[in-house]
Amino acid sequence: MTNDGQGPDAAHQVPEGVSEETVEALGTLSAALEVLEHARGYLYGFHRLTGKADLGFGDAVEQLRKAGHSELADRIDTELIGRNVIEGRWTFQIVEDYDDGYYALAKDLERTARDDLAGGRRHLLEAGMKEDRRTRAQRHHEATPADLPE
């Protein structure tokens, strides 16, 4: 990566002595963490949607009772509403276990790798890609916000 005075800011420059292979490995690790963040969003979506469905089942029970279907309403009320979604757990417990276990470890290991191998710098691979792909001296291709024309 060449720096023409308009390269990445200091936080996104590859530290001296860090190999391209290391930058690539850190980029792959960062990308995997981004996928994990995406998966975590789906997990939280699952949590919220399941809770919303449980409340909707409660509304349906009331409506079924008003419509004279108390036997079916009672069954939904006792068998489904408030039921664990997996053995012994509601969705909030699944989210907590995920956050405190797998997710926390992945975040910690990615941060440790960045700290140990690149002085804590993030997105070095992407910063290099930006330098390779942008058109220098072209509006909207500035290296940093500080390089914007006045």
- Predicted confidence (pLDDT) per residue in 38-75, tens digit: 999 999 999 999 999 999 999 999 999 999 999 999 99
| Structural domain harbouring 60 | 20-135
Question: Is the per-residue pLDDT at 90 higher than 60?
Answer: yes
Question: What is the model's pTM?
Answer: 0.82
Q: Give the DSSP letter string of 78-119.
A: HHTTT--SBTTB-HHHHHHHHIIIIIHHHHHHHHHHHHHHHT
CA atoms within 13 A on the CB side of 17: 4
- The verdict on residue 52 lying in a domain is yes
Give the amino acid at 98.
Y
Is 14 contained in some domain?
no
Q: Tell me the pLDDT band of 5, cut-offs 50, 70 and 90.
A: low
Q: Is residue 90 part of a domain?
A: yes
**pLDDT per residue as tens digits for the range 103-147:** 999 999 999 999 999 999 999 999 888 988 888 888 888 888 888
Tokens of 38: 């995406």
Domain-embedded: residue 150? no
Tokens at 128, concatenated: 């290099």
Give a yes or no: residue 146 inside a domain.
Answer: no
| Domain total of the chain | 1
140 in a structural domain: no
Position 100 in a domain: yes
Indicate whether 7 belongs to any domain.
Answer: no
